[in-house]
A = this chain, B = another copy of it.
Amino acid sequence: MKKSDKTRATIVTAARLLFSRNGFDQTTVRDIAAEAGIDPALIVRYFGGKEALFIQAADIALELPDVSSIDRLDIGLSLAKHFLKMWEDGGSHGGLPVLLRSAASNEGAAERLREIFARQVVPVLRPILPEDCALERAAMISTQLLGVALCRHILKLPPLVAIPADRLAVLVGAAIQNLIIDTPRD
Contacts and interface: CB of A to CB of B under 8 A. Distances in A.
Nearest to A185: B170
Contacts of A178: 174-175, 178
A100 B26 CA distance: 17
A26 B114 contact: no
Interface in A133-165: 135-136, 138-140, 142-148, 150-151, 154-160, 162-163
A147 B140 CA distance: 9
Given A23-B105, A114-B157, A139 B166 contact: no
A117 interface: yes
Interface residues of A, number: 53
Contacts of A185: 170
Interface string A68-107: 0000000000000000000000000000000011111110
Given A23-B104, A146-B155, A171-B184, 11 more contacts: A102-B104, A102-B105, A103-B155, A114-B155, A136-B159, A139-B159, A140-B175, A142-B157, A143-B148, A170-B185, A175-B175
